[in-house]
Amino acid sequence: MGDQIEVSELDPGGELVARVAALDIAKASAMVCTRVPGSGARKRQEVRKTGATTGAILELADHLVCQGIELVVMESTSDYWRPFYYLLEDRGLTCWLVNARDVRNVPGRPKTDKLDAVWLAKLAERGMLRRSFVPPAPVRRLRDLTRARAVLTADRTAFKDRVEKVLEDAQIKLSIVASDIFGVSGRAMLQALIAGERSPRGLADLARGRLQAKREDLMDALRGRFDAHHGYLIGLYLEDIDRLDAQIADLSKHIEAAITELDLTRAAGPDPAGSKRLPLLERLTEIPGVGAITAQNILAETGFDMSVFPTPAHLASWAKLTPRTVQSGAKNTATGTGTGNPWLRRALGNAAVTAGKSRSFLGARYRRLVKRKPKKKAQLALARNIIEIVWQLIADPDARYHDLGTDWYEKRTDPDRRTRELVRQLERLGNTVTLTPTLA
Structural domain ending residue among the three candidates 134, 166, 182:
134
Q: State the pTM of this model.
A: 0.84
Q: How many CB atoms lie within 10 A of CB 430?
A: 6
- If asked whether residues 119 and 157 sit together in one domain, one would say no
Q: What is the reported pLDDT for 309?
A: 92
Residues of the chain with pLDDT > 90, as a percent, come to 55
**For the segment 322-334, what is each residue's pLDDT rounded down to a tens digit?**
887 777 777 777 6
- If asked whether residues 250 and 198 sit together in one domain, one would say yes
**For the segment 141-181, what is each residue's pLDDT rounded down to a tens digit?**
999 999 999 999 999 999 999 999 999 999 999 999 998 99
371, part of any domain: yes
Answer whether residue 419 shows pLDDT above 60.
yes
63, part of any domain: yes
Query: Rounded distance, CA 96 to CA 4, Å?
Result: 10
419, part of any domain: no
275, part of any domain: no
- If asked whether residues 215 and 296 sit together in one domain, one would say no
Query: Rounded distance, CA 176 to CA 50, Å?
Result: 61
In 3-state terms, the chain is what percent helix, strand and coil (to 5)? 55, 10, 35
- If asked whether residues 49 and 127 sit together in one domain, one would say yes
Buried b (16+ CB within 10 A) or exposed e, 123-148: bbbbbbbbbbbbbeeebeebbebbee
- Between these two residues, 402 and 127, which has the higher pLDDT value? 402
Q: What is the reported pLDDT for 436?
A: 85
- If asked whether residues 228 and 293 sit together in one domain, one would say no
Structural domain ending residue among the three candidates 99, 134, 169:
134
- If asked whether residues 291 and 203 sit together in one domain, one would say no
CATH number of the structural domain spanning residue 97:
3.30.420.10
Among candidate residues 377, 368, 349, the one with its CA nearest the CA of residue 410: 368
Q: What is the reported pLDDT for 6?
A: 39
pLDDT (average), residues 331-360? 87
- If asked whether residues 129 and 145 sit together in one domain, one would say no
Structural domain ending residue among the three candidates 378, 395, 412:
395
Structural domain for 55, as ranges: 6-134
308, part of any domain: yes
**For the segment 56-78, what is each residue's pLDDT rounded down to a tens digit?**
999 999 999 998 998 999 988 78
Q: How many CB atoms lie within 10 A of CB 47?
A: 17
Among candidate residues 50, 110, 119, the one with its CA nearest the CA of residue 83: 50
> Which secondary structure element, helix H or strand E, spans residue 159, and what is its range?
helix 137-169
- If asked whether residues 116 and 143 sit together in one domain, one would say no
Sheet holding 95-98, edge to edge: 6-9, 130-132, 95-98, 71-75, 20-25, 29-37, 43-51
Phi, psi dihedral angles at 272 (to 5 degrees): -55, 145
Among candidate residues 283, 300, 318, the one with its CA nearest the CA of residue 390: 283
- If asked whether residues 108 and 167 sit together in one domain, one would say no
Are residues 333 and 293 in contact, defined by beta-carbon separation less than 8 angstroms? no
Among candidate residues 250, 198, 243, 25, the one with its CA nearest the CA of residue 120: 25
- If asked whether residues 121 and 175 sit together in one domain, one would say no
Q: What is the reported pLDDT for 360?
A: 92
Q: How many domains does the chain have?
A: 3
Query: Rounded distance, CA 91 to CA 151, Å?
Result: 33
406, part of any domain: no
- If asked whether residues 105 and 24 sit together in one domain, one would say yes
- If asked whether residues 203 and 114 sit together in one domain, one would say no
